[in-house]
Amino acid sequence: MEFHSCDFPGVRIIDLPHHTDTRGEFVKLYHDELYQSSGIHISFVEDFYSRSTKGVLRGMHFQYAPYAHWKLVTCVEGSVLDIGFDMRTNSPTFGRWFEHQLSSTTPQAILLPPGFAHGFLTTSDSSTVFYKCSTVQCPQAEAGIMWNSFGFQWPISNPTLSNRDSSLPPWKTLARDPRLADFRA
């Protein structure tokens, strides 16, 4: 595993070890000892995966404290445009976003700290995205921002959204929420 830092404090892009032979491919997503030795001390307590078709946009989601979580995201089938938006008010990258293409053909994962809204757009015919979280899903703490309200120019103007995602508040409204101060860079 190779852990790469980026301009956003706490975010890591991780090249995943994989082996290919006549049977197919084997990929290692997580190995606690390797994460620990790289200075990443996180306990994951819940896993999810989603399946989506081309043009589906899931996001931009997060959870408020005390259920805010680290999230480890990878695409195990197809490809997605993965987006993280920094909402940590004390971060040098507050209010900025990053994008990264995740694909099953290039085994990588993204590690996002608490305080990031996260979402992705399926860019292949279908995708399966797997993620690990450091806290359990808590409906009372779940929140999000409108997908097209924070400055990122998505490569689609009319994505397929859930009812929930299509009714999320815009960033301009949420940016004044005092609970954002609970997120630390």
Exactly one of 19, 61, 64, 69 is catalytic; name it.
Answer: 61
Beta bridge partners of 126: 53
- The verdict on whether 61 is a catalytic residue reads yes
Measured in whole angstroms, the distance separating CA 136 from the mean position of its chain's CA atoms is 15
Question: Is there a contact between 90 and 184 (Cβ–Cβ < 8 Å)?
Answer: yes
3-state secondary structure of 172: helix
How far is the C-alpha of 65 from the C-alpha of 67, rounded, in Å? 5
Task: Please indicate whether residue 30 is annotated as part of the active site.
Answer: no
Query: Of 35, 64, 67, 131, which is the active-site residue?
Result: 131
CB 30 within 8 A of CB 16: no
Active-site positions read 61, 131
